[in-house]
Structure 1
Amino acid sequence: MVKLNSIEEVDLLANTKSAKKRIAIIKKRTLRNKMIKSRVKTFIRRFNESLATKDIEAIKERLRLAVKELDKAVSKGVLHKNTAARKKSKLYAKFNALLKSASNE
């Protein structure tokens, strides 16, 4: 059994025109999915970084943007809806914990 590490290696195995076309489509979709996932991770990272500032309005805006990106990824089929829900839940939990600690001070 041959272990293939990338789509390029699979490309060498394709014989038919339709197989080559499918490989091209997969490459394009993989690139698109990577871009969307990277964008989601960036927005989540920005939210997490903004937690240190303790500026509630800025954090709220970053949370809104992160949730928006997660929802976009779900609508494009890049993330499963339950995955996005889990990630949003974690973000909201962090935000609510910050609000709770801010109200106690």
Structure 2
Amino acid sequence: MPQTKSHIKNKKVILRNRNSNKKYKIAIKQSIKEYLLSIKSIINVNNEEGLKLCQNNLSIVYKKIDKAVKKNVLHKNTAARKKSRLARLLK
């Protein structure tokens, strides 16, 4: 338990930032899950509409990952690794 006023304030800041970071990470995980489901559906039915849906979902995931990097939630190398792995799945 924090003893000084500065530690108490720091604890509040840490909790606030953790909640903010968690929102970004959850949004990324949800969009990745949606992208993976669209990839799974395109494997079963090979058509152009499914491919466009996958590319659209991939761009949404990229957008969310880039935003997280901009807000210092993810490291830029971690983001690059995630993006490259997701792009490799589409190939």
Normalising by structure 2, report the TM-score. Answer: 0.89
User: How many correspondences in the alignment?
Assistant: 84
Gaps of 5+ in 2: 43-49
From the CA coordinates, give the structure whose radius of gyration is larger: 1
**Structure 1 counterpart of 2:31, from 35, 40, 43:** 43
Kindly indicate whether structure 1 or structure 2 has the higher relative contact order, using CA contacts under 8 Å at least 6 residues apart: 2
* Aligned CA-pair RMSD: 0.7
Gaps of 5+ in 1: 1-12, 97-105
**Structure 2 counterpart of 1:88, from 80, 83, 87:** 83
How much identity, in percent, do the aligned residues show?
37
Structure 1 CA distance for aligned equivalents of residues 90 and 59 of structure 2: 11
1:59-98 equivalences in 2 (<5 Å): 59-96=54-91
Superposed structure 1 runs of 4+ greater than 4 Å apart: none
Structure 2 CA distance for aligned equivalents of residues 42 and 72 of structure 1: 15
Structure 1 CA distance for aligned equivalents of residues 18 and 5 of structure 2: 20
Is the partner of 1:29 in helix, strand or coil? helix
Normalising by structure 1, report the TM-score. Answer: 0.78
